[in-house]
A and B are shown apart, each in its own frame.
Chain A
Amino acid sequence: MKIFVCIKHVPDTAAAIKLSGDTTFEDSDCKFVINPYDEYGLEEAVSLVEKNGGEVVLVTVGKAAAEATLRGAMAMGASRAILVKTEGYFIDSSLTCKALKAAIEKDGMPDIIFTGKGSVDTEGFQTQYRLAAALKMPVVNEISKLTVSGDKAVAERETGGGEREVLEISLPAVIGATKGLNEPRYPKFPDIMKAKKKPVTMLSISELGIDESAGKNRLIKLESVPERSGAKMIQGSVQEQVNELIRILKEDERVL
């Protein structure tokens, strides 16, 4: 079986974002990692291929620096990767999707495409849906349990109220992974060394016929969110503290 995993190169969730200019941030001193939700998709892909044979191919759309993230992800067990290079960091989701589609079609159609349920940086919450629509595949998101047999998969997802839905999907399909699907492995040292030699196909977004500045969504301004300061301490005995808390809830915020 052939499985694609869409990977995103994102700032570490612990990283501070230092703005530079109207729409950019200082990315040179910011640690980048594989988008945490993509790791669940990657782990699932690798274990499916370990069981059934085949190969796991990574695909990413991002700046040239994303290669480091792809190498790290290949150490988890993917056999090769495709990097569609962009100039800018912020790309409209519909363009990302066009680039992913072109790269996947060029390489040959897979049985499954995994993505994360979303990215922790831009949080567009849409690329997997657009990709599925473009490839005319079904898509399910926030999947925390998956069983694949033949040309079908049974996927479970939790909806807002804790309700669980069990879905049967025909393959090929796009599957958005979330926490709970598996425990992503830590690559061992020999795997990390091997990953350095695995092939990464470099494409540029323009050679796929996509104008990266043509999106209908354009980032025009980026501002940092001011931190809170001047926290007030609620003083006194436990009873006094509780009375003050209730006064705040009742009189200041009117939530009681």
Chain B
Amino acid sequence: MKKRAVIIETQDGVINSANYGMIACASKGATELYCFIINENDEHGDKFREELEKYGIKNIVGICIDSTCQKDHEKSFNPVKWSDAIAQAVIAYHISTLFGLTTPVGKELLPRIAAQLDAPLVMDCLDVSQTYNTVNEHTYGTYNDSDHDFDLAKTSLYSGKTIATVKVTGSIRIFGIRPNVITPSTKSAILQAAESSPSQATASINSSPSSIEKFIANYTPQQNIKLVESRKGDSLGNHLLAADVIISGGRAMQNGENFKLLEDCARAIENLGGSAAVGASRVAVDLGWVPYRMQVGQTGEKVSPKVYIACGISGSVQHFAGMKMSKMIIAINENPNAAIMSSCDYHVESDVFEILPALIEELQTTQ
């Protein structure tokens, strides 16, 4: 049986919601699925097990490092250390397909694992499937395709201007999934899928209690990269990839101070139980109003929230490249001729400095 694994990203003992879309993607075809959790000691084990079981997961592996030289361990650069540990686990568990998220963590881990295992990697996937229904194989018959053992990954090319279908072969394949584009499915949906493919059904239906087993990787101290210092930053732009709502500002925000309005709006949404983050156009970053990590666009972050609210952003091709995968785009702009006004879902033709304070006030009083 083909074994697949997902690398679960956790933060402060919480499993980020983006992981569940990735699990839904990896569960397709009801293969045996492992969840790899990095650096998991027993502290959060029961909680993680309970959470992951809701999504039909029974194989949970906590990946640890056996460090006899603690001093080197502390100074080692995390991505180097953990990519090596995961690569060891991939081999030990005979994993044929590995999934991770295209997040700052995944962008460091997955290519290092791929390079170490000499395995193909497709980052920023919108979907990965093993079915080959939309493409006529004969059209692409210039290469040998006798084994039928492959995955098809959909990923964006030219920063969201086109969608590519990539056929991936090889004994180990690695995919980075774009956060929040795949809808999570709970256990019942996965069980249904399993019932329709009878040979695998027992794998998912088995309701025996899960346990987190430990995989202890060999640790080789790295001499050629050392972590000298790690400084905490502020939280601005921290959650762009995980947020359901992104509210971004452009030139019409006039200065960095005014981004506080967007921050207040995001906080008000969070106080209502939503998740929100503040983004920016390239102009706002280039003018020094906000840090680069908040930039949404072709040369910034690619985001796909449920709702993207663009405040005073004209909507260049490059900006769209970073946010066009959003489920809904709302533009607030005084200029009815701004490019964004015709390529969004809703537009509000108003001054951002009138709308935003009123919106914040209304959000604060709404139930």
Q: Contact residues of A with B, CB < 8 Å?
A: 11, 13-14, 16-17, 19, 22, 25, 36-37, 92-94, 120-126, 128-130, 132-134, 137-141, 154, 158-170, 173, 178-180, 213, 215-225, 227-229, 231-234, 238-239, 241-243, 245-246, 248-250, 252-253, 255-256
Contact A170 B223 (CB under 8 A): yes
Q: Which of B24-32, B109-117, B207-215 contacts the other chain?
A: B109-117
Q: Which of B160-168, B182-190, B198-206 contacts the other chain?
A: B160-168
Q: Contact residues of B with A, CB < 8 Å?
A: 77, 80, 102-105, 107-108, 110-112, 114-116, 118-124, 134-135, 139-140, 142-143, 152, 156-170, 173, 176, 222-238, 241, 244-245, 269, 272-275, 291-293, 298-299, 306-307, 316-318, 321, 324, 327-331, 341-350, 354-355, 358-359, 362-363, 366
Contact B363 A231 (CB under 8 A): no
Name A154's closest neighbour in chain B (CB-CB): B228
Nearest Cβ on chain B to A143's Cβ, whole angstroms: 12
Contact A255 B244 (CB under 8 A): yes
Contact A13 B143 (CB under 8 A): no
Nearest Cβ on chain A to B297's Cβ, whole angstroms: 9
Name B77's closest neighbour in chain A (CB-CB): A167
**A13-B298, A130-B111, A179-B299 in contact; A167/B226 too (CB < 8 A)?**
yes
A124: B residues at CB distance < 8 A? 121-123
Contact B227 A165 (CB under 8 A): yes
Nearest Cβ on chain B to A12's Cβ, whole angstroms: 10
Contact A218 B224 (CB under 8 A): no
Contact A163 B233 (CB under 8 A): yes
Contact A221 B111 (CB under 8 A): no
A101 to B300, CA, bound (A): 29
B104: A residues at CB distance < 8 A? 159-161
Identify A219's interface contact among B112, B164, B231, CB under 8 A: B164
Contact B228 A255 (CB under 8 A): no
Identify B330's interface contact among A37, A168, A173, A248, CB under 8 A: A248
Contact B162 A248 (CB under 8 A): no
Name A134's closest neighbour in chain B (CB-CB): B115
A36 to B159, CA, bound (A): 13
Contact A126 B111 (CB under 8 A): yes
**A16-B317, A162-B293, A180-B292 in contact; A238/B355 too (CB < 8 A)?**
yes
Nearest Cβ on chain B to A74's Cβ, whole angstroms: 23
A14 to B227, CA, bound (A): 38
Identify A245's interface contact among B122, B165, B234, B348, CB under 8 A: B348
Contact B162 A224 (CB under 8 A): yes
8 example contacts (A-B, Cβ-Cβ < 8 A) are as follows A125-B111, A134-B115, A218-B168, A222-B163, A232-B347, A238-B358, A239-B358, A256-B363
Contact A160 B350 (CB under 8 A): no
Contact A223 B321 (CB under 8 A): no
Identify A223's interface contact among B162, B235, B345, CB under 8 A: B162
Identify A216's interface contact among B77, B105, B120, B229, CB under 8 A: B120
B298: A residues at CB distance < 8 A? 13, 120
Nearest Cβ on chain B to A148's Cβ, whole angstroms: 15
A179 to B299, CA, bound (A): 9
A179 to B294, CA, bound (A): 13
Contact B348 A121 (CB under 8 A): no
A246 to B274, CA, bound (A): 13
Identify B238's interface contact among A161, A217, A228, A243, CB under 8 A: A161
**A120-B159, A129-B111 in contact; A94/B120 too (CB < 8 A)?**
yes
A126 to B120, CA, bound (A): 10
Contact B167 A123 (CB under 8 A): no
Name B102's closest neighbour in chain A (CB-CB): A125
**A13-B298, A249-B245 in contact; A241/B348 too (CB < 8 A)?**
yes
5 smallest CB-CB distances across A and B, nearest first, come from A162-B233, A160-B104, A133-B115, A216-B120, A129-B111
A146 to B45, CA, bound (A): 40
A228: B residues at CB distance < 8 A? 324, 329, 343-345
A173: B residues at CB distance < 8 A? 224
Contact A120 B168 (CB under 8 A): no
Nearest Cβ on chain A to B157's Cβ, whole angstroms: 6
Contact B342 A229 (CB under 8 A): yes
Identify A256's interface contact among B161, B236, B342, B366, CB under 8 A: B366
Name B305's closest neighbour in chain A (CB-CB): A255
Nearest Cβ on chain B to A161's Cβ, whole angstroms: 5
A223 to B127, CA, bound (A): 15
Identify A11's interface contact among B158, B307, B346, B363, CB under 8 A: B158
